[in-house]
Structure 1
Amino acid sequence: MASEQWFMGPLPLPCPGETPPTDGSEAGPQPCGDPRWLMSPGRPGDPLEPLLEAPACTPSPEEPLAPDPGPVPTRLPLDTMFSPITEQLRYLLSKADDFQSYLLYSRDRVQTEQLAKAMPTFLQMCEPYFLYLEAAARSVPPIHGALQELVRKGLLEVSQQLTLRLEQLVLMYASFGLVDMEETDPLSSISSFFCGRFSLSPTHEVSIFRYCAPAAYTATRFPRYLYKKMRWNLETTLEPSGQGQHSRVDYYFLCYRDTWEDSGKTLANSCPQIQKLWSIGRWVPLGPAEDDLYSWILCPQPPGDYQQLLTIGFEEPSHMLATDLLVQILTGQAGPARPPSAAGPAAWAAQGS
Structure 2
Amino acid sequence: MATEQWFVGPLPLDPGETPPPDDLESGTQPCGDPSWSTPPSRPGDPPEPEPEDAQGHLPEAPACTPSPKPLAPSPAPAPPRLSLDTMFSPITEQLCYLLKKADDFQSYLLYSREQVHKEQLAKVMPTFLRMCEPYFLYLEAAARSVPPIFGALQELVRKRLLEISQQLTLRLEQLVLMYASFGFVDLDETDPQSISCFFCGRFSISPSHEVSIFRYFAPAAYNASRFPRCLYKKMRWNLETTPEPSSRGQDSHVDYYFLCYRDTWEDTGKSPANSCPQIQKLWSIGRWVPLGPAEDDLYSWILCPQPPGDYQQLLTIGFEEPSHMLATDLLVQILTSPAGPARPPSAAGPAAWAAQGS
TM-score past 0.5 threshold: yes
**DSSP-derived class of the 2:328 partner:** helix
Residue 269 of structure 1 and its aligned partner are, at CA, apart by 2.3
Report the structure number with the largest CA radius of gyration.
2
Match of 1:319, as an amino acid?
A: H
Give the deviation of 1:220 after TM superposition.
6.6
Distance of aligned partners of 1:286 and 1:336 in 2 relative to their CA distance in 1, 3 Å threshold = closer
Name the CA distance, whole Å, in 2 between partners of 1:221 and 1:170.
32
Q: Is the Cα–Cα contact under 8 Å of residues 225 and 309 in structure 2 kept in the other structure? A: no
In the alignment, the residues of structure 1 paired with residue 181 and residue 339 of structure 2 have an alpha-carbon distance, to the nearest angstrom, of 38
Please give the alpha-carbon distance, in whole angstroms, between the structure 1 residues aligned to 2:250 and 2:339.
Answer: 31
Q: Measure the CA separation in 1 of the matches of 2:101 and 2:249.
A: 43
Q: Does 1:165 align with 2:171?
A: yes
Calculate the TM-score normalised by the size of structure 1: 0.72
Match of residue 300, structure 2, among 274, 295, 304 = 295
Quote the residue 1:126 is aligned against: 132
- CA drift of 1:262 comes to 2.3
Q: Deviations over 1:266-303 (max 9, x none)?
A: 22222457421111111100111111111111111101
Cα–Cα, structure 1 residues 81 and 268, in superposed 2: closer, same or farther, change >3 Å? same
Distance 1:208 1:334 in 2: 23
Distance 1:332 1:221 in 2: 27
When the two chains are superposed, the root-mean-square deviation of aligned CA atoms in Å is: 3.0
Question: Structure 2 counterpart of 1:178, which letter?
Answer: F
Deviations 1:82-138 (A, max 9, x none): 111111100000000000000000001001001101110000000000011000010
Alignment partners' CA distance in 2, 1:245 and 1:89: 41
- Name the CA shift for 1:272/1:317 in 2 (closer, same or farther; >3 Å): closer
Q: Which residue of 2 aligns with 1:99?
A: 105
User: Which residues of 2 match residues 16-95 of structure 1 at below 5 A?
Assistant: 72=78, 74-95=80-101
Task: Report how far residue 148 of structure 1 moved.
Answer: 2.0
Number of residues of Structure 1 aligned to a counterpart in Structure 2:
280
Q: 1:257 aligns with which of 256, 262, 274?
A: 262
1:241–1:259: structure 2 CA closer, same or farther, 3 Å change rule? same
Provide closer, same or farther for how the CA distance between residues 189 and 336 of structure 1 changes in structure 2, counting only shifts above 3 A.
Answer: closer
Cα 1:112/1:336, change in 2 over 3 Å: closer
Amino acid at match of 2:311: Y
**Counterparts of 1:299 and 1:246 in 2: how far apart (Å)?**
24
Partner of 2:12: none
- Could you tell me which runs of 5 or more consecutive residues in structure 1 were left unpaired when the two chains were aligned: 1-69
Structure 1 Cα separation of the partners of residues 183 and 158 of structure 2 = 38
Higher relative contact order (CA 8 A, sep 6+): 1
Amino acid at match of 1:204: H
> Between the two proteins, what is the percent identity of the paired residues?
84
1:286 matched residue in structure 2: 291
Aligned match for 1:113, one of 113, 119, 124? 119
Indicate yes or no: 2:301 matched with 1:275. no
Question: Is residue 232 of structure 1 aligned with residue 231 of structure 2?
Answer: no
**What residue ranges of structure 2 are gaps of 5+ in the alignment?**
1-75
**TM value normalised by structure 2:** 0.71
SS at 2:272 equivalent? coil
Aligned mates of 2:217, 2:339 — CA distance in 1:
27
* SS at structure 2 position matched to 1:126: helix
Contact 1:306 1:341 in 2 (8 A): no
Q: Which one-letter code corresponds to 2:330 in the other structure?
A: L
Secondary structure of 2:218's aligned partner: strand
